[in-house]
């Protein structure tokens, strides 16, 4: 167990998460161990590497899910354009919603409208509800 002066705590200036951990010290001389070093700069003690155990079996690839292909993205964007047109939204609304879902702007996609699928309408409804709940004051 580390003593109180060997523990650090701070809030990340970029994301605001609270970070807590132990200071890494050389087991031989007690010098603060640089994060990227394999040996102590003060006494030369070499850090022991942790061994990784291997177990017999078969590796399987973890798949997040099928990556949407260009046709799926085009259809989604076209459905958003239809909704924007029907609700008299600015057509850039569709671009922003597309970016919200895929993380990129709809570059190189055609600006044609297609009647939206129930899945797209449900996605829009869920995003609108989440936005409304975030704006609600208590």
Helix, strand, coil tally for the chain in percent (to 5): 35, 10, 55
Give the mean model confidence (pLDDT) for residues 36-63: 82
Long-range pairs for 120-125: beta carbons < 8 A, 24 or more residues apart = 120/76, 120/79, 120/80, 120/83, 121/83, 124/80, 124/83, 124/97
pLDDT at 4: 53
Give the mean model confidence (pLDDT) for residues 134-138: 74
pTM metric for this prediction: 0.51
User: pLDDT tens across 26-49, in order?
Assistant: 888 888 877 777 888 888 888 877
Question: Sorting pLDDT into bands at 50, 70 and 90, what band is 1?
Answer: very low
User: pLDDT tens across 91-105, in order?
Assistant: 899 999 999 999 999
pLDDT at 138: 58
Domain ranges for the chain:
70-135
What is the four-CA torsion angle of 46, 50, 51, 53, rounded to 10 degrees?
Answer: 180
What DSSP assignment string belongs to 64-79?
--PPPPHHHHHHHHHH
């Amino acid at each position: 167990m580390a003593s109180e002066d060997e523990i650090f705590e701070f809030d990340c200036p970029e994301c605001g998460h609270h970070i807590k951990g132990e200071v890494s010290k050389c087991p031989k001389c007690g010098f603060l161990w640089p994060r990227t070093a394999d040996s102590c700069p003060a006494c030369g003690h070499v850090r022991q590497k942790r061994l990784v155990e291997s177990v017999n079996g078969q590796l399987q690839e973890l798949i997040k899910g099928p990556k949407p292909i260009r046709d799926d993205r085009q259809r989604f964007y076209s459905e958003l354009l239809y909704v924007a047109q029907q609700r008299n939204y600015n057509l850039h609304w569709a671009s922003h919603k597309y970016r919200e879902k895929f993380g990129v702007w709809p570059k190189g996609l055609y600006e044609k409208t297609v009647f939206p699928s129930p899945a797209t309408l449900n996605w829009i409804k869920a995003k609108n509800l989440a936005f409304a709940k975030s704006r609600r004051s208590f």
